[in-house]
A = this chain, B = another copy of it.
């Protein structure tokens, strides 16, 4: 009855239903109507379960077909990765991000990104730097999505006005100046902004290297 895949799915269900904080061997076992100690017949320990969850979440990623245009492909891969990571409860993403990237599941997007970069003429060592910068940006973006409440919206001028004045008093004049924009946070828009910048930079760099050769 009990099996590794069943346990992993139950763990994801716990996170989806009650948040990442509620995840424990005991809560997973409770959901399965089983004693927590029984899980040890199928998983090594809690750490291994967390690895398996991260693996399972990432394995839902659908790698988009390459179009041959580097910018298009990089953006499509980044979106696919983000969609997979966010496909469960928002908090599940922190679990994926806090596992070391050597998990097998990470290799699929890695392969796709490297393929896109190298098809566009990137040399191996440079491609590795580029993919690492991209992954760092994606990780940081998802971490923010997970830990930020929906938005920071406080558009009520009755609140915003005094707050800006307080910021200016603290010497944070520039923060005060942009406060209206800081109070709005559209995760997807920020994601696209950053990925677009990186993709543009990669395209430009490769074109420049090609022109020199």
Contact = CB atoms under 8 A, between A and B. Distances in A.
Given A124-B181, A201-B200, A129 B175 contact: no
Interface stretch (A2-10, A29-37, A69-77, A137-145): A137-145
A129 to B, nearest CB: 5
A155 interface: no
Interface string A176-199: 011011100100011001100110
Interface SS of A by simple majority: helix
A135 B190 CA distance: 11
Contacts of A83: none
A111 B174 contact: yes
Contact of A198 (B125, B138, B197): B197
Contact of A140 (B111, B115, B136, B178): B136
Contact of A128 (B101, B149, B178): B178
B177 A118 contact: yes
A207 interface: no
Nearest to A200: B201
Contacts of A111: 171-175
Contacts of A98: 94, 143, 147
A39 B133 CA distance: 41
Contacts of A175: 107, 110-111, 114
Nearest to A198: B197
Q: 7 closest A-B pairs (Cβ-Cβ)?
A: A140-B140, A139-B140, A136-B140, A133-B194, A114-B174, A128-B181, A124-B178
Given A111-B172, A139-B144, A174-B111, A133 B193 contact: yes
Contacts of A84: none
Contacts of A135: 140, 144
Contacts of A42: none
Contacts of A43: none
26 contacts: A100-B149, A102-B152, A107-B170, A110-B172, A110-B175, A114-B174, A115-B173, A124-B177, A124-B178, A124-B180, A125-B178, A125-B181, A127-B174, A127-B181, A129-B193, A132-B185, A132-B190, A133-B137, A133-B193, A135-B140, A137-B194, A139-B140, A139-B143, A143-B143, A198-B201, A201-B201
